[in-house]
Amino acid sequence: MTFDVEGDPLRDLFGRYARADWPLFVVGVVTSVLGRLVSLAPPLVLGVAIDATFNDDVPYEIPFVPADLLPATQSEEVLYSVGIVVAALVGSVLLTWTNGAALSLFSNRVQHYIRVDTYDAMQRLDMAFFDDKQTGQVLAILNDDVRNLRMFLGSTVSSALQLVATVVGIAGLLFYLNWQLALVTLVAVPALAVFTLWFMRTIRPRYRALRASVGELNTRLENNLDGMEVIKTAHTERHETDRIRETSWQYYLRTWAVAKLEYLYQPTMDLLAGLAFAATFLLGGLWLVGGAPGPFTGDLRVGEFVTFLFMTQRFVDPLSGVGRIVTSYEDARASGERIVGLVSRPVVVQDREDSVVRDHVEGHVEYDDVTFSYLPDRPVVRNLSFTVEAGETVAFVGPTGAGKSTAAKLLLRLYDVDSGSVRVDGVDVRDLSLETLRSNVGYVSQDVFLFDGTVAENVRYGSFDATDEAVEAAARLAEAHAFVENLPDGYDTRVGERGVKLSGGQRQRLAIARAMLQDPAILVLDEATSAVDTETELLIQRGLARLTADRTTLVIAHRLSTVKEADQLLVVDDGRVVERGTHERLLDEDGLYATLWNVQSGASASEEFIAEVVARADRGT
C-alpha cells in the first residue's frame, strides 16, 4: 500500500476509504448544514413578529418569502410565526436525526475498512518488524488510532462544515439586517483565526507524542501480562509496578501537555467571541437609546436588535467550538500519521512482479554461499553452501546461538539473504511466489503456537478444506490421537488462550499433525528442546519419522541421537559449517561433532571440552 508519507494523512486516508460510501457522507453533511440553517428561522421570525406586532409602521416581512404568501391580519401573523417556529423545530429534529444516522454509518464503515486494511498491511510487514516486539504500538494503532479517525469523521467533519455554514449563513443575515452593526460583531473573526493557527502549530507535536505514548503504555502492559509467570516466580511485582508507574507517568505528562494548551485555547476563544457579543450589545443598546452613535447612521428597531443579538449569540457559540474541532483534527491527524506510517513501511520480503508460481515443487534445496545478518555487519550465517536432494534429510547441529534456526528460516523467506542464494528446484526463493514457497515448505517450530479455537481447527490450520477424517488420520500419524480423545470434548476441545492448556509434548504433536495434513514437499523442523519425558519423546520421534519420510527435510537438532540417520549432517559453529558428512564419517573425524556426541551419549565430558565450553561462553558466542 502506498501513501504519501509527507502529505496530509487524513486527506490520503479519506480519499482512499471514503469513496465507496460518499453518498452517506453527502447526506450527512447536507442534512447537518440544512439543520443548522433551519434552526436559524425561529429567532429571525421572532424579531419580525415583535416589530410588526408592536409597531404599526413596520410591515410583516420575512427574508426569502414572497409577500403574497404572508398573512394579512395581525392575529394571522402570530399564528403564521408560531407555525414557522414549530415547523423549523420539527424539521431541525428530522434533519439532525438523518445527519447523525448517515454520518455514523459512514464513519463506522470507514473505520471498518481502515482497520481491516491496516491489519492486512501490517501482517505483510517483514518479520524483522515483529522481532522488535512493539505489539502494544501496533495494537494501539489498530484500536485507538482507528477509533480516533472514526470519531473525527463521524462528528468533527460535520461539525466543521456546520460551523462554516452557520458562520457564513449568520454573517449573511447580520449584514442583511444591519451591515454596520455586523462589522462590529465580525471584527473578532480575524483575531480568532490567528489565535487558532498558533494553537494548531503548537499542539501538533504534542499530539504526536501523546499518541506514541499510548502505544508505549500498551506495549509495557502487554509485555507484562505475557510474562506474568516470570514476574510472580521472580517476585518482581514491585519492580514491574514501578516500571508501569514510570510509563503511565510519561503518558500523564504528555496528556497534560496537550490538555493545558487546550484549556488555554478554549476560554480564550470564548473570551474573544464574548467580547464581540458585548461590543454588539453595547453599540446596539446605545443606538436604541440615543440614535446611531459615532460614525454609524440609520435606524435600529427593537425586534431587529433582538434578532441581531440572538444571531450574534448563535454566531459566537460555534466559533468558540472551533477549539473542539481543531483539537479533534490534530488528534486525528496524529492518528492518521501513525496508520499511514505503519502501512507505508517498505516491505522487503514480498512477491516480485514476475514471480514463479508452481502448484508443486520436487523438493531439491540448495544454499549457495549464503550470508545473512540481523544487524549490520554482524553476520549470523556466513558463506553457507550445501545441497539436499529431493526426499533427503539434512540436519543442522552445533552449539546454541550458532545460527541454525536462522539458516533454516532463510528457506522460508522469513528473512532475505544478504548475499548468495537459497534455491528450491533451482529457482531462487526470492523469485518464487510466496504462496508457492510457503505452501510447499512446512514449518514445525520449537515453540508451537496454538490459536484460540478447537483442537481440530488447530490441526486444520492452513489446510482449511481437510475433512474430519483427514484431521483424525493426521493426528493418529502424529501420535496425538490418543491424548486428544482423552480431552473433555475430544477434537472439539477448545485450546489456546481461552481454552485448555496443553503440555509442550502435546502441542508438539499437534504441530506435527498440522504439518502432516499440509503434506508439504519440504519440511523445516526446529526440533523441540523442551525436556519431555522419554516416553513422550519416543512418541514425538515416531510421529516425526513418519512426517519426514520421503520428503526433503531440514532439521535443527539439539539431541544428536534424533538425527544420526540423516543423509547429511552440517555442524554449524558461529554461522559457518565447520564439519559435514554422515554420522559415522563425523565420528571418524573426531572433531566437534564427535565431542558433542560423546557428551550427549553419556561419555563424560573431557576436561578440554568443558574448558572450551566455558571459553566459548566467555567470548559470548
In the complex, which residues of this chain contact ligand ATP (CB under 6 A)?
131, 374, 380, 400-406, 556
| Least distance from ligand ATP to the Cβ atom of residue 600, Å | 14
Q: Which residues pair with 522 in a beta bridge?
A: 441, 552
What helix, strand, coil percent values describe the chain, rounded to 5?
A: 65, 10, 25
| Least distance from ligand ATP to the Cβ atom of residue 529, Å | 7
* 250 vs 529, beta carbon nearer ligand ATP: 529
Residue 294 Cα distances to 180, 183, 287, 302, 491, angstroms:
12, 14, 10, 19, 91
* 132 vs 435, beta carbon nearer ligand ATP: 132
Q: Distance between CA 513 and CA 522 in Å, rounded?
A: 15
- SS3 per-residue string spanning 68-89: HHCCCCHHHHHHHHHHHHHHHH
Q: What angle do CA 341, 17, 207 make, to 5 degrees?
A: 40
For 568, phi and psi rounded to 5 degrees?
Answer: -150, 135
Helix 74-123 / helix 9-17 crossing angle, nearest 10 deg: 90
| Least distance from ligand ATP to the Cβ atom of residue 402, Å | 4
Q: Which residues pair with 356 in a beta bridge?
A: 432
- A 10 A CB-CB count for 273 gives 25
| Least distance from ligand ATP to the Cβ atom of residue 437, Å | 20
**384 in Cβ contact with 420 (< 8 Å):** yes
| Least distance from ligand ATP to the Cβ atom of residue 421, Å | 19
Q: Distance between CA 345 and CA 75 in Å, rounded?
A: 71
- A 10 A CB-CB count for 556 gives 24
Q: Distance between CA 393 and CA 403 in Å, rounded?
A: 18
| Least distance from ligand ATP to the Cβ atom of residue 129, Å | 11
501: cell is 492448556
Q: Distance between CA 287 and CA 8 in Å, rounded?
A: 48
Q: Distance between CA 6 and CA 9 in Å, rounded?
A: 8
Please provide the distance, in angstroms rounded to a whole number, between the alpha carbons at the two ends of the chain: 40
**517 in Cβ contact with 466 (< 8 Å):** yes
Nearest to 393 by CA among 592, 598, 547: 547
* 173 vs 402, beta carbon nearer ligand ATP: 402
Identify residue 529 by its one-letter amino acid code: T
| Least distance from ligand ATP to the Cβ atom of residue 131, Å | 4
| Least distance from ligand ATP to the Cβ atom of residue 391, Å | 24
Identify residue 312 by its one-letter amino acid code: T
353: cell is 512482479
Length of the chain: 621
Any idea which residue has 485448555 for its cell?
500
106: cell is 459512514
